[in-house]
Amino acid sequence: MVAGATAIEARNVVKTFGSGSEAFNALDNVSVTIRQNEFFTLLGPSGCGKTTLLRMIAGFELPTSGEIMLDGQPVAHLPPFKRQVNTVFQSYALFPHLTVAQNIAFGLEMLRRSKSEIDAQVDKMLKLVQMEPMRNRRVNQISGGQQQRVALARALAPHPKVLLLDEPLSALDLKLRKGMQIELKRLQMETGITFIFVTHDQEEALTMSDRVAVMSKGKILQIGTPTEIYERPSDRFVADFIGETNFTQAEVLERQGDEGRLRLCSGVEIVQQINSLAGIGDKVTLAIRPERIELAPHDDACQFSGTVQNVVYFGTDTTYHLNIQGGGHMTVRLQNRWGHQSVLQAGDEVGLRVPPEAMQVLKD
């Protein structure tokens, strides 16, 4: 397997539901390339078109325009049962009249594999998802978490080129979900299969994925590694959707190449990468993560100053809500590395120090 080779490609895919005045684009010119052996996540709020994109890759739905390529070949003419893609459904969709083992064997039987091969593969899969003792149970005689594992094993058994997972963990409680996150990652590495994982949970996306595509209203806004998405969000929606972010306005005073001199709301001037996002005189938005800000007595190295409004203790860290001089609020999160020392209290005046690389200029 060539590293970086393409597994799935969507080219300018549009999906329109309804017609006439009720026509509505569930997917609006989506292009994405997913590499082989990658754990790729589609992340976005409910209704943004994640399931629709998955269904098109699986073949349950055809694009209104644009193309889906599997292994470099267009697949529009292929019905689902001819695509080497398997799905883990949100509702699992385990066949209720079959046992756990029969469910797992189903795909292999349809592919007309030999009896001995099927038996061996079913055993392997049961072991992989740690369900050997349950092999002869009916699927309604096992718990939700176990059904989840069986659904995974069933989809993995035919060794598809790509595995599609549609919010597979959303029905599980928090503890099971954390366990399954680790499990899924392990399965993906062990099998070497490309995973396309759908979720609306940003934490899940960040912890599991090689790359993430952030979607909103039928469009892909940004594709990148979890670090890129978190540290360098391309726009306000992404910055806001992933983690917590402070937004603050600044004015461009001067430009030189990619850099610009900006005046913050506090009046302090800084030099910052702005690329080609804005010209002189334009207002830009800066995104600053709460954990990147340091609190200090006010001095010249501080970009902002403010008043503590309230202090919220979270165990591992403490969050300070501040009123910023010159307008707006900011949230600052400090780790309680040496225990919780409540040095600051509501009403205290304080300076905020932000390393330049922690400020990200956004297009609005």
Partner 1 sequence: MSEVTAAGETLTATNIMRRGRRPRFDVKHQPGFGFMAVLCVLMLYGPIVLLVTYSFNQNPSITIWTSFSFDWYVKAYHNEQIRDAAFLSLKIAFFASLASTCAATMAAIATTRVKPYRGLTLAYTIINQPLMVPEIVTGIATLVFFALIKQMTGIYGLGYLITAHIVFCIPFAYMPIRARLEDMDLTYETAAADLYATPWQTFKRITFPMMIPGILGGAMLAFVISLDDVVITVLVSGPGEETFPLYMIGAIRRGVTPELNAVATAFLCLSALLVTVFFLVTRKKKE
Ligand X SMILES: Nc1ncnc2c1ncn2[C@@H]1O[C@H](COP(=O)(O)OP(=O)(O)O)[C@@H](O)[C@H]1O
**CB closer to partner 1, 69 vs 111:** 111
The binder of Mg ion chosen from 37, 51, 103, 188 (CB under 5 A): 51
Give the CB-side neighbour count of residue 361, counting CA atoms within 13 A.
24
The CA distance from 90 to 86, in Å, is 13
In the complex, least distance from residue 155 CB atom to partner 1, rounded to whole angstroms = 8
CA 24 vs. chain centroid, Å, equals: 24
Site string for partner 1, 40-79 (x = CB under 8 A): ------------------xxx------------------x
In the complex, least distance from residue 228 CB atom to partner 1, rounded to whole angstroms = 32
In the complex, least distance from residue 91 CB atom to Mg ion, rounded to whole angstroms = 11
Among Mg ion, partner 1, ligand X, none, residue 26 binds (CB under 5-8 Å by kind): ligand X
Q: Which stretch binds partner 1 (CB under 8 A): 6-14, 23-31, 104-112, 119-127?
A: 104-112
In the complex, least distance from residue 15 CB atom to ligand X, rounded to whole angstroms = 8
Tokens of 173: 């409680």
**CB closer to ligand X, 41 vs 51:** 51
Are the C-beta atoms of residues 11 and 74 closer than 8 Å to each other? Answer: no
**CB closer to partner 1, 96 vs 257:** 96
Are the C-beta atoms of residues 14 and 28 closer than 8 Å to each other? Answer: yes
In the complex, least distance from residue 169 CB atom to ligand X, rounded to whole angstroms = 14
Exposed, middle or buried: residue 143 (CB in 10 Å: 0-12, 13-18, 19+)? exposed
User: Which strands sit side by side in the sheet containing 65-70, from one edge to the other?
Assistant: 24-35, 6-17, 65-70, 73-74
Question: Among 286, 289, 246, which Cα is nearest to 270's?
Answer: 286
Neighbours of 89 (CB within 10 A): 16
Q: Is 51 in the site for ligand X (CB under 6 A)?
A: yes
- Residue 135 identity (one-letter amino acid): R
**Binding residues vs partner 1 (CB under 8 A):** 58-60, 79-82, 85-87, 89, 91, 93, 95-97, 106-107, 110-111, 140, 154-155, 158
**Binding residues vs Mg ion (CB under 5 A):** 51
**Binding residues vs ligand X (CB under 6 A):** 17, 26, 44, 46-52
